[in-house]
Amino acid sequence: MLNKQLLHKYNIPGPRYTSYPTVPYWDQSSFSVEKWKETLKRSFDESNQAEGISLYLHLPFCDSLCTFCACHKHITVQHSVEEGYIKTLLQEWDLYLDLLQDKPIIKELHIGGGTPTFFSPENLKIILESIFAKAIIADEPEFSIEGHPNSTTREHLQVLYDLGFRRISFGVQDYDPKVQKAINRIQPYENVKEATEISREIGFESVSHDIIFGLPHQDLRAMKDTIEKTRSLNPDRIAFYSYAHVPWIKGVGQRGFNEDDLPTPEKKRELYEVGKEMFEDMGYVEIGMDHFALKSDSLYKSAVEGTMHRNFMGYSSSKTQVMIGLGMSAISDSWYSFAQNVKTVKEYKEMVSKGEIPVVKGHILNEEDLNIRKHILNLMCNLETSFDSEETQFIELEDTRERLEEMEADGLLKWQGDKLIVTEAGRIFVRNICMTFDLRMLRNKPETRIFSMTV
């Protein structure tokens, strides 16, 4: 079990490293939309024919507010919003096609939200067929979607399967009625069971369940019950996320319960340790950070082969140099730069209607950023990184090694020559280890808290 002294020592605010630099440390002074376009075109020309691109579609609508959620969303019960949003999304796609000039080869596509299955099956089909009509689909593409068990119908699943989707993740979070009420996410086990079974019946090859530990009112009894119910459905992949409590960022959405209702850091981590043990007894293997997969799942195979990737969509079993995000608040990645769209539907529609790519902020990576990014990716995906060549080293490497000495003494990592390896004890502190490389943050430490706790 976890050493409580280490938990108290290292459970500090820190990034989740879906990017480097992290969003709060993007340099706006050197960024412009024109520079973003230049780096995107350059990266696309370098990589499209060899590996294709990734697409992320952000469908932001939800019919109710989950109080645990830190995503950018738009709450409404009016499904009439679908048509106008679709029109804008496809116009944005056309703006990128005009910039790229050549047909993109779509290797990976993920639809997130919001609640993607807020959209009708017919409208999801319109979106996807319109995008595919102006692109080339790669051999063996990876298409996935986030589904809400309460709103994902057989018709949704059949449309998606017919269009090439083979992976779906369902947000379970927790089955305990008291927890569900606190986070305003009421969904019976029967709904998850039905959605999971229909997905498999139709032919989906990878069904994932998202479970969160650290939610209000969670205790060991409830967590064990949730995992036992998960065992009965045997998903191919499990995302076991730490609840990120950031009410200072998300306001009322994460203040739907009393702070005292949250488990203490010790109890929260105990929930994880018990969950991890149960998952491993069920045949799951821990992958990277927060994820477990059966050995038959593509994420496990990519982890073993060392090809797993991490970006704003989370962990992926394939990597592309270009990721284009379409929709309100979506983030794009050209490898050489990041760009994020405006964060309201109104602004998004206004900019696209004027023929403008709706980017509001971003970051151009310099050579140092690119080097650090590779090391953080290595640590987050493979739990190791190496400094065995001149191009893998950077100017403050010795300072970083000094920062790692205490973690090495605490048994969180070890060195094999020029290779840094995260130990099993250090796995849960991988975010802390990555922070020793984060030169952007170290040079400009935040005066106020901007990240969730690392553990």
Determine if residue 431 is labeled as part of a ligand binding site.
no
- Please give the span between the terminal C-alpha atoms of the chain, in angstroms, as a whole number: 14
How do beta strands 419-422 and 413-416 pair? antiparallel
Spatial contact of 351 and 33, defined as CB atoms under 8 Å apart:
no
The response to whether 66 counts as a known ligand-binding position is yes
CB contact at 8 A, 312 and 19:
yes
Please tell me whether 447 is known to bind a ligand: no
Burial class (CB in 10 A: 0-12, 13-18, 19+), 137: middle
The whole-angstrom separation of Cα 240 and Cα 289 is 9
User: Concatenated DSSP letters for 46-62?
Assistant: HHHHHH-EEEEEEE-EE
Contact by Cβ (8 Å): 415, 398 = no
Are 413 and 358 spatial neighbours (Cβ–Cβ below 8 Å)? no
φ, ψ for residue 368 (rounded to 5)? -65, -45
For residue 434, say whether it is annotated as part of any ligand binding site. no
331 is in an annotated binding site: yes
Question: Could you tell me whether strands 167-173 and 206-213 are parallel, antiparallel, or unpaired per DSSP bridges?
Answer: parallel
Q: Is 219 annotated as a binding residue?
A: no
Is 425 a known ligand-binding residue?
no
State whether residue 237 is helix, strand or coil. strand
DSSP letters spanning 170-228: EEEE---HHHHHHHT----HHHHHHHHHHHHHHT-SEEEEEEEES-TT--HHHHHHHHH
Say whether 114 counts as a known binding-site residue. Answer: yes
442 CB-near residues (< 8 Å, 6+ apart): 435
Q: How many CB atoms lie within 10 A of CB 29?
A: 6
Three-state DSSP state, 235: coil
Q: Is 39 annotated as a binding residue?
A: no
Three-state DSSP state, 384: strand
70 is in an annotated binding site: yes
279 is in an annotated binding site: no
**Residue 381 marked as a ligand binder:** no
Contact 206, 170 (CB under 8 A): no
For the chain, give the longest Cα–Cα distance: 61
- Tokens representing 161 are 């399967």
Per the annotation, does 283 bind a ligand? no
Residue type, 227: I
Sheet of strand 419-422: strand arrangement:
384-386, 419-422, 413-416
Q: How many CB atoms lie within 10 A of CB 101?
A: 9
Q: From the annotation, which residues make up the binding site? A: 56, 62, 66, 68-70, 113-115, 146, 173, 185, 210, 244, 331
Q: From the annotation, which residues make up the binding site for [4Fe-4S] cluster? A: 62, 66, 69
Q: From the annotation, which residues make up the binding site for S-adenosyl-L-methionine? A: 56, 68-70, 113-115, 146, 173, 185, 210, 244, 331
